[in-house]
Structure 1
Amino acid sequence: MNFKEIKELIEILDQSSLTEINIEDKGNVVNLKKEKETEIITPQISQQPMQQVAPQQEIATAPAASNNADTAANSAADTSGKTINAPMVGTFYKSPSPEEGAYVQVGDAVSNDTTVCILEAMKLFNEIQAEVTGEIVEILVEDGQMVEYGQPLFKVK
């Protein structure tokens, strides 16, 4: 078989519903196989609040009563102040670019519509608003850190 004949066989296979062609000619064997096309599905990210599962996991994995008491004490301490939680999974950035300053720092006052950080997910940069009014008491994550849905980012009083 020459190159032109092989090329014609490839075109025939491509245009037909056949998935494989096997030909033996003068001691030469030609096997042509068409691979299945794969469909790429990209997930859609929703910023709607979802039911938080993490606290149930903490309770289920706590092995001793003393840990339950510690968890209850920490929960009571956390409820005295408000937190700004991650509305989605992504990478936390405290500023719009490395050259610019942080959106907020400890001691800054925030209101419902104050942008406090950016979360990057799948190359999309989402500005996150405080959605609470108060003063930033603590920044709980580092710049460039991956965060989970519902993870506290800032403490606000």
Structure 2
Amino acid sequence: MKVQEIRELIKLVDQSTLDEFEYEMNGTKIKMKKNSLQPEGITVQQVIPKEALRQEEVQAAPIPQPAAAEKPAEEKKTETAENLHKITSPMVGTFYQSPSPETDAYVKAGSKVSKNSVVCIVEAMKLFNEIEAEVDGEIVEILVKDGQLVEYGQPLFLVKPE
């Protein structure tokens, strides 16, 4: 399933009166549940069947821990940038600035982007999902570090729209 399709599903569920939505196809399961207590209360979960995982992958996979000191700084930055567009993560995963360690980052602060420009990759369960800018403008700030774990809806970039 493509990132854009997941985004569309999220929007449809968010705008509907449904409280819960579940979709399963080819061993991939997506479950969305609204939480009426929080404005961004949709959660997306993708499950891989146990038989699809090899035992050594499960044992070798480290569990990334977000740095506790980074949270307040990120919140302050996003509060002061109300007129800027936030490019957010459409899923939980690992943020990468470039397609491979040997290549340059897709964008840097000051880079001009168009709606369809790829700005980063979010890797989730060995799938590398290209994230697009969504607006024409200039990258003002990159809010996460390369290799950092990101949450669904977490701001990744601030863009000054044109």
TM-score scaled by length of structure 1: 0.55
Quote the offset at 1:79 in angstroms.
2.0
- Aligned partner of 2:144 among 110, 128, 141: 141
Cα RMSD, aligned residues only: 3.2
Amino acid at match of 1:107: G
Deviation of residue 57 (structure 1)?
7.8
- Cα distance in 2 for residues equivalent to 1:56 and 1:129: 26
Q: 5 Å matches for 1:114-133? A: 114-133=117-136
Percent identity, aligned pairs only, is 59
In structure 2, give the amino acid aligned to 1:96. P
Whichever of the two has the greater Rg, that structure is 1
Match of 2:107 among 84, 104, 111: 104
Partner Cα distance (2:84, 2:134) in 1: 14
Q: Mind listing any 5+ residue stretches in structure 1 that lack a counterpart?
A: 1-44, 59-70
CA distance in 1, matches of 2:106, 2:7: 23
| Letter of the 2:145 counterpart | E
Q: Please name the residue that 1:14 is paired with.
A: none
Separation in 1 of the partners of 2:7 and 2:84? Answer: 23
How many equivalent residue pairs? Answer: 100
The 3 A distance-change label for structure 1 pair 112 and 57 is: closer
Partner of 1:30: none
Q: Which runs of 5+ in 2 are unaligned?
A: 15-33, 41-74
Give the TM-score normalised by structure 2: 0.54
User: Once the 2 structures are TM-superposed, how far is the Cα of residue 119 of structure 1 from its aligned partner?
Assistant: 0.5
